[in-house]
Amino acid sequence: MDKFLLLIELFSVISFSQCARILGVFQMPTISHQSVFQSLWKELSLRGHTVTVITPNPLKDPSLINLTEIDINYTYEIMERHGFQFFMSKELPIYTKIPRIFSLNYELSEEILKNGEFIKLYNNSNEKFDLIIAQTYVCPIMYSLSAKMKAPIIGVSSMGGWTGSHFAMGNPSPPSLYSEMFLPYNGEMSFYERFCSTLYYLWTRYFLTFEAIPKSDKIARKYLGNDIPYLGEVEKNLSVLFLTTNPILYTPRPTVPTIISLQQLHIKPKKALPSDLQNILDDAKEGVIYFSLGSNVKSINMPERIRNVLIEAFNELPYTILWKWESDDLPDKPKNVIIKKWLPQQDVLGKLIVIISYL
């Protein structure tokens, strides 16, 4: 929280002397990523900065007069087509996942670089930005805008930093000590886990150096022209990288001073629950269990075998279960299970006895 206040203070010092023109590029079409960035671009615009963002989840709030949003919500279709939630499944080996995440990101980045409204921005030599804020995920293509538009760049991740980002920021990242966000390890690792983490690290460095970064560089050049430095160098030029991990959930690790954890940027002021939901919670005398796999991984896509195990287990409980289930009916739904396609998660959380989700 201190770091976050520091950030706000930093921006208010800047705005004291002069309001900045800021370009935000947030390319991942998933609401759980975007809701983190929404707070950032909204707050910056409210503080008088002139903010232009490209995002698949625009706020569309007419009261934000200093904010221009370029809507790329059509990229949700790309995410579906690549089958993100399926290729990230636990059973698949990591060396198949990373190349597929990159393929997805090549296409998402190209879709932005081809966007008419966006071309007008970077192709207009009168359009000067004081700062670019870009989503840090795995693929650095969009960082090339900082080289093209000659503006300093800050990276913001809606989660932790991955191997490539730590490397680019010059942050020591010994794989025998710290696991990686795409690996299923957390806390102190066993010898076997350290060994796998090290292999993964070596493979990632190889894949990035010889395949992913050269390919990303080619894509950036195809749209922005050849007068930009190599993308691998641009990636090392991030002024600051903001992460949003919380040490309660992740192993704390040392970072260079230019990597700063913002932690709970996504937390919004509390709102009253819709009355139907409030009634459900009031009626649940024994307490409520909340079950959600998030926005990317849909409960409706879980194998029938697992669904049946859950249904059987829930059926035996005296509690009310709120299940984020993305369809109108759940076969064999027990009476104590209530399904909703979407829930105001943050406002419900305070009223639960157990939360079932995954990290």
Ligand X SMILES: *[C@@H]1O[C@H](CO)[C@@H](O)[C@H](O)[C@H]1NC(C)=O
Residues contributing to the site for ligand X (CB under 6 A):
19, 45-46, 48, 64-66, 73, 76, 119, 123, 147, 152, 229, 233-234, 237
Nearer to ligand X, 34 or 163 (CB): 34
Nearer to ligand X, 127 or 233 (CB): 233
Instruction: Say how many CA atoms lie within 13 Å of 170 toward its Cβ.
Output: 9
Nearer to ligand X, 196 or 220 (CB): 220
Nearer to ligand X, 63 or 96 (CB): 63
Q: Tell me the β-bridge partners of 355.
A: 290
Q: How far is the CB of 233 from ligand X (least distance, A)?
A: 4
Nearer to ligand X, 57 or 158 (CB): 57
Dihedral of alpha carbons 303, 304, 305, 311, sign = positive
Q: How far is the CB of 258 from ligand X (least distance, A)?
A: 13
Burial grade of 143 (CB within 10 A; 0-12, 13-18, 19 or more) = buried
Distance CA 138, CA 163 (A): 9
CB atoms within 10 A of CB 342: 10
Residue position matching structure tokens 């995410």: 79
Tokens of 222: 């195809």
Strand order, beta sheet including 153-156? 67-71, 50-55, 21-25, 131-135, 153-156, 240-243, 259-261
Of 276, 250, 232, 256, which Cα lies nearest the Cα of 141?
Answer: 232
11 close to 44: Cβ distance less than 8 angstroms: yes
Nearer to ligand X, 47 or 351 (CB): 47
Q: How far is the CB of 95 from ligand X (least distance, A)?
A: 29
Distance CA 246, CA 267 (A): 12
Q: How far is the CB of 124 from ligand X (least distance, A)?
A: 8
Kindly write down the DSSP assignment for every residue of 299-312, as one continuous string: GGGS-HHHHHHHHH
Nearer to ligand X, 168 or 338 (CB): 168
Give a three-class secondary structure readout of 124-150. CCCCCCCEEEEECCCCCHHHHHHHHHC
Q: Which residue is nearest to ligand X (CB)?
A: 48
Q: How far is the CB of 51 from ligand X (least distance, A)?
A: 9
Nearer to ligand X, 142 or 321 (CB): 142
Distance CA 25, CA 347 (A): 28
Nearer to ligand X, 46 or 311 (CB): 46
Q: How far is the CB of 278 from ligand X (least distance, A)?
A: 28
Nearer to ligand X, 147 or 262 (CB): 147
Q: How far is the CB of 306 from ligand X (least distance, A)?
A: 27
Burial 107-118 (b: 16+ CB within 10 A, else e): ebbbbbbebeeb
264 close to 243: Cβ distance less than 8 angstroms: no
Q: How far is the CB of 35 from ligand X (least distance, A)?
A: 14
Q: How far is the CB of 2 from ligand X (least distance, A)?
A: 25
Q: How far is the CB of 85 from ligand X (least distance, A)?
A: 16
